[in-house]
């Protein structure tokens, strides 16, 4: 009886999660759509693990349903763990991201079928998914007429969601398209349910209308235009990722496609409108796996797909909806990036399919007693009883270990999601101009999730911004000066911790370099540290024109004009239509008295600007000044007199920031006077720099 209650309770819990995945999100988190659905995926995986342990204690045995795709799925799971560990000293980010999704996917398929109540699973899953589809379809149709939930969500949160078709509860219209098309096909092929269910007929009609609306919305120029990495770029990155043996075998890590993209991005992408975008997935799922898990991971997953397709596609007239849902979702993986909603629904559908056909598959188990009748101990001899006791102790100990592992993973995951809520609260406080509360929110989030690099990086930025705000006070007290020094020290420490936690993420190194740049006026050591950090950032994003601009600005600050020219030229080479790059190159050329070259750069800058803009007029004046300098030089040369040193640097002014901003982050610009150089003396700045430099990596992360 207890076993049946557990099975029934778990079945309905799993189906509830299946309904919530496409229809629910918690707005009080950062990145609310993704993190809400990630929490649901983790929740059903943990529930599967704990339910399995409880069931094993009730039955006094472990029992698994073995299908043709069980072995490749187990190998895939092992590869995910190895890839997460081998390339990352601190793999928390891998397991709390896509790596965790992969592991949840495997746990659900491997464990849930032995727990689920197999009766009517096809009908129950079909009912739940059709209700979710009905809700999404109605909302899409209403959203088409400007009536939706986005305005209500905007009232109860800080998000500014658009009231058009770009808003959908799945998170992306392209994901909604996938779900609607899959359910549509499943209903059409499930003729038995179609004939007997009025709900299926209504859902199918509305889903078809909503599907058309969403397809129209994602087309170029549509409200929800979907920008995906092209197949050509994805294939190029996948090919280049196989050059190094380690990456070819184990990949960059399950949650590291974005880092690999920045490292391997072809330079021609800079000529597209997506040039500033970091993609976290390739054109499709297989090409994503090549980069994130390596060639072995891809081959293993393709083997799993083949085995799954063969197993599910066998003649089965009783579970048509589940069969079509699984097959059509697998096909979608070759034409779209991985998305959390459909990937987790695939796992749930596969678990339901296996459970529904449980009697057809082989079962493997570890029994305490040799007899099927667990309570018939009187028939066992002494040796059998002794062996049964040993097995029972082992089963209890192993389950205790599993509970400890799952409990620790649940605890760490739970703390991370609380940290995401604190980061949301920090944004609320920033909007309310309550910087102190925002600062405290970030510190609390760091304490809860100290090994997530983006939290440490953002914590470094907020420390720096507070220090700058305090340093700009005209009457700063001695105590406030000490607080500024402490904030700068903490900013450096947090940024360095981010580089330790995410060494392949160029944003961490760039943030660290920008902090050092705020100290350039205090000590020469800041120049070298900024250069080192920027060099690392360029290593992990070599084709970024923005990073080359930052390096050029750094050399301009130290009046090293030849090196500044080199890096500004490299920025131009990487993106020939970046007006800021041409302008900065002109500045460096003028400073180095290369008038003819500066004339060319300013002319190219003008060609990229609108003629009536204020920037155009400003740079046109600069060009006229350079032209006058060239004419003067020619006149002097004709007269045989020595050229005069008539520097025109004072006439050159930086244009207002254009849409192709060279500043990728919210840190202060190098050219701005943050006030730190005035408030801090050389000794203070060197102390702040050296404290971070001398601290061990482990201490940085731990603190």
The pLDDT assigned to 650 comes to: 35
More confident residue, 387 or 595: 595
Question: Under a CB-based contact definition with an 8 Å cutoff, are residues 550 and 670 in contact?
Answer: yes
Per DSSP, 365 falls in state E
Q: Residue 649 — pLDDT band, cuts 50, 70, 90?
A: very low
Whole-angstrom Cα distance, residue 482 to residue 422?
A: 27
Four-CA torsion 493, 496, 501, 504, nearest 10 degrees: 160
| Residue 687: pLDDT band with limits 50, 70, 90 | low
Q: Which of 99-103, 149-153, 227-231, 634-638 bottoms out in mean pLDDT, i.e. has the lowest?
A: 634-638
Instruction: Tell whether the model's pLDDT for residue 351 goes beyond 50.
Output: yes
Residue 582 has pLDDT above 50, yes or no: yes
Write out pLDDT tens, residues 233-250.
999 999 999 998 888 999
Higher local confidence (pLDDT), 191 or 223: 223
Q: The dihedral of CA 295, 298, 304, 305: what is its sign?
A: negative
- In eight-state DSSP terms, residue 666 is S
CA distance 166 to 139: 12
Please give the pLDDT value at position 226.
84
**pLDDT tens-digit map of 552-576:** 999 998 899 999 999 999 999 999 9
Of the candidate ranges 453-467, 474-488, 529-543, 675-689, the one whose mean pLDDT is the lowest? 675-689
Cβ atoms 624, 590 nearer than 8 A: no
Average the pLDDT over each of 15-19, 48-52, 231-235, 392-396 and give the range with the smallest value: 392-396
Check whether 370 has a pLDDT greater than 90.
Answer: no
pLDDT at residue number 82: 95
- Nearest CA to 128 out of 210, 21, 4 is that of 21
Which tens digit of pLDDT belongs to each residue from 117-159?
A: 988 899 999 999 999 999 999 999 999 988 888 888 999 999 9
Nearest CA to 189 among 322, 282, 94? 322
Q: What is the pLDDT of residue 315?
A: 65
Asked whether residue 653 carries a pLDDT value surpassing 50, the answer given is: no
Nearest-CA neighbor of 670 among 684, 654, 687, 650? 654
Domain ranges of the chain: 2-367
Residue 559 — left, alpha, or beta (φ > 0 → left; ψ -120 to 50 → alpha)?
Answer: left
Does the structure show a pLDDT above 70 at 645? no
- pLDDT-derived band at 681 (thresholds 50, 70, 90) equals low
Answer with the residue of higher pLDDT: 391 or 449.
Answer: 449
Q: What is the mean pLDDT of residues 174-178?
A: 95
pLDDT-based confidence at residue 672 (cuts at 50, 70, 90): very low
Closest-CA residue to 290 (of 332, 327, 254, 341): 254
pLDDT tens digits, residue range 261-317? 999 999 999 999 899 999 999 999 999 999 999 999 999 999 999 999 999 988 667
Contact 17, 348 (CB under 8 A): yes
Q: What is the pLDDT of residue 636?
A: 77
528 pLDDT above the threshold of 80: yes
pLDDT of residue 657: 38
Write down the pLDDT at residue 663.
32
What average pLDDT does the chain have? 87
With contact defined as beta carbons under 8 Å apart, do 232 and 284 qualify? Answer: no
Q: State residue 694's pLDDT score.
A: 53
Tokens linked to 674: 């943050």
Q: What angle do CA 259, 261, 263 make, to 5 degrees?
A: 70
Q: What is the pLDDT of residues 203-233, one digit of tens each?
A: 999 999 999 999 999 998 888 888 899 999 9
pLDDT score of 670: 41
Least confident of 4-13, 124-133, 627-636: 627-636
How far is the C-alpha of 217 from the C-alpha of 638, rounded, in Å?
65
> For residue 404, what pLDDT is reported?
93
User: Residue 647 has what pLDDT?
Assistant: 46
pLDDT of residue 380: 62
Three-class SS of 214-276:
HHHHHCCCCCCCCCCCCHHHHHHHHHHHCCCHHHHHHCCCCCCHHHHHHHHCCHHHHHCCCCC
Comparing 254-258, 528-532, 609-613, the range with the smallest average pLDDT is 609-613
State the average pLDDT over residues 64-92. Answer: 93
Calpha distance 658→577 (Å, rounded) = 12
Among 122-136, 454-468, 630-644, name the one with the lowest average pLDDT: 630-644
In this model, does residue 255 exceed pLDDT 90? yes
**What's the pLDDT score for residue 368?**
63
């Amino acid at each position: 009886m207890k076993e049946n209650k557990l099975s029934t309770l778990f079945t309905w819990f799993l189906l509830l999660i299946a309904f919530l995945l496409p229809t629910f999100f918690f707005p009080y988190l950062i990145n609310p759509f993704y993190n809400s659905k990630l929490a649901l995926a983790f929740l059903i995986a943990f529930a599967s693990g704990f339910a399995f342990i409880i069931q094993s204690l009730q039955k006094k045995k472990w029992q698994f349903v073995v299908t043709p795709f069980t072995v490749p799925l187990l190998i895939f799971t092992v590869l995910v763990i190895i890839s997460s560990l081998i390339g990352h000293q601190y793999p928390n980010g891998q397991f709390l991201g896509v790596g965790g999704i992969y592991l949840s996917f495997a746990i659900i398929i491997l464990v849930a079928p032995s727990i689920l109540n197999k009766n009517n699973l096809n009908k129950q899953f079909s009912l739940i998914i059709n209700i979710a589809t009905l809700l999404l379809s109605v909302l899409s149709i209403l959203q088409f007429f400007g009536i939706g939930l986005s305005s209500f969500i905007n009232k109860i949160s800080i998000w500014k969601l658009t009231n058009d078709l770009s808003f959908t509860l799945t998170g992306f219209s392209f994901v909604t398209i996938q779900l609607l098309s899959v359910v549509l096909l499943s209903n059409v092929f499930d003729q038995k349910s179609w004939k007997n269910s009025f709900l299926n007929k209504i859902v199918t009609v509305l889903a078809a209308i909503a599907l058309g609306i969403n397809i129209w919305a994602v087309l170029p120029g549509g409200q929800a235009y979907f920008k995906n990495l092209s197949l050509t770029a994805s294939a190029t990155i996948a090919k280049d990722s196989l050059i190094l043996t380690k990456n070819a075998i184990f990949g960059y890590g399950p949650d590291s496609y974005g880092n690999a993209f920045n490292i391997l991005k072809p330079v021609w992408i800079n000529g597209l409108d997506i040039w500033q975008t970091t993609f976290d997935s390739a054109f499709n799922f297989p090409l994503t796996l090549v980069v994130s898990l390596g060639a072995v991971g891809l081959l293993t997953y393709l083997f799993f797909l083949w085995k799954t397709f063969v197993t599910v596609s066998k003649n089965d007239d009783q579970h048509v909806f589940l069969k079509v849902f699984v097959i059509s979702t697998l096909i979608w993986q070759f034409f779209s990036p991985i998305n959390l909603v459909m990937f987790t629904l695939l796992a749930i559908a596969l678990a339901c399919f296996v459970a529904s056909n449980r009697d057809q598959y082989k079962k493997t188990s570890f029994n305490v007693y040799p007899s099927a009748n667990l309570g018939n101990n009187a028939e066992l001899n002494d040796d059998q009883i002794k062996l049964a006791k040993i097995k029972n102790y082992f089963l209890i100990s192993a389950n205790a270990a599993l509970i400890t592992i799952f409990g620790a993973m649940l605890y760490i995951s739970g703390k991370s999601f609380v940290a995401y809520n604190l980061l949301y609260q920090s944004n609320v406080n920033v909007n309310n101009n309550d910087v102190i509360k925002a600062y405290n929110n970030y510190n609390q989030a760091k304490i809860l999730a100290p090994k997530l690099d983006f939290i440490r990086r953002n914590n470094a930025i907020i420390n720096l911004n507070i220090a700058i705000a305090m340093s700009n006070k005209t009457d700063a007290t001695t105590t406030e000066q000490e607080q500024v020094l402490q904030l700068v020290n903490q900013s450096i420490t947090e940024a360095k911790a981010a580089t330790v936690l995410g060494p392949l993420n160029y944003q961490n190194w760039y943030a660290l370099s920008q902090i050092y740049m705020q100290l350039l006026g205090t000590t020469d050591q800041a120049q070298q540290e900024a250069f080192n950090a920027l060099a690392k950032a360029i290593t992990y994003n070599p084709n970024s024109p923005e990073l080359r601009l930052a390096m050029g600005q750094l050399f301009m600050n130290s009046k090293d004009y030849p090196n500044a020219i080199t890096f500004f030229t490299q920025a131009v080479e990487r993106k020939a239509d970046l007006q800021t790059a041409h302008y900065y190159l002109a500045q460096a050329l003028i400073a180095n008295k290369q008038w003819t070259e500066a004339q060319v750069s300013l002319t190219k800058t003008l060609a990229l600007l609108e003629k009536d803009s204020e920037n155009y007029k400003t740079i046109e004046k600069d060009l006229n000044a350079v032209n006058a300098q060239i004419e003067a030089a020619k006149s002097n040369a004709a007269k045989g007199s020595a050229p005069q040193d008539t520097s025109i640097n004072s006439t050159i002014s930086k244009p207002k920031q254009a849409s192709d901003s060279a500043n990728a982050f919210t840190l202060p610009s190098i050219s701005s006077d943050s006030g730190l150089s005035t408030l801090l003396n050389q000794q203070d700045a060197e102390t702040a720099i050296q404290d971070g430099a001398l601290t061990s990596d482990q201490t940085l992360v731990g603190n």
